[in-house]
A = this chain, B = another copy of it.
Amino acid sequence: MAAKKKPGFEQQLEKLEELVEGLENGDLALEEGVERYREGVDLLKSLNQTLADAEHKVEELTATLRAELKELEQNGDDLDLD
């Protein structure tokens, strides 16, 4: 549902890295630097969101997984009774 053509987390991260490097080199014009900063902030926001979403999803999945494992363990306990 989420991202079809949206660049992935790593791609965005690389873009952010490039951006930071560009800013560190200092050859940028002031206005360009500010624009890059804005892009960087947007990227970071987007990355943060992506990460939070991923974490949320992972948490949900982990909850499901735990439940499944618990169920399995109960079965496993039955096993141990033998």
Contact = CB atoms under 8 A, between A and B. Distances in A.
A61 B68 CA distance: 24
A10 B29 contact: yes
> Chain A's interface: helix, strand, loop or mixed, by majority?
helix
B29 A41 contact: no
A82 interface: yes
A64 to B, nearest CB: 5
B38 A61 contact: yes
A40 B33 CA distance: 24
A29 B61 CA distance: 17
Interface string A32-52: 111101101100110011111
Contacts of A51: 30, 72, 75
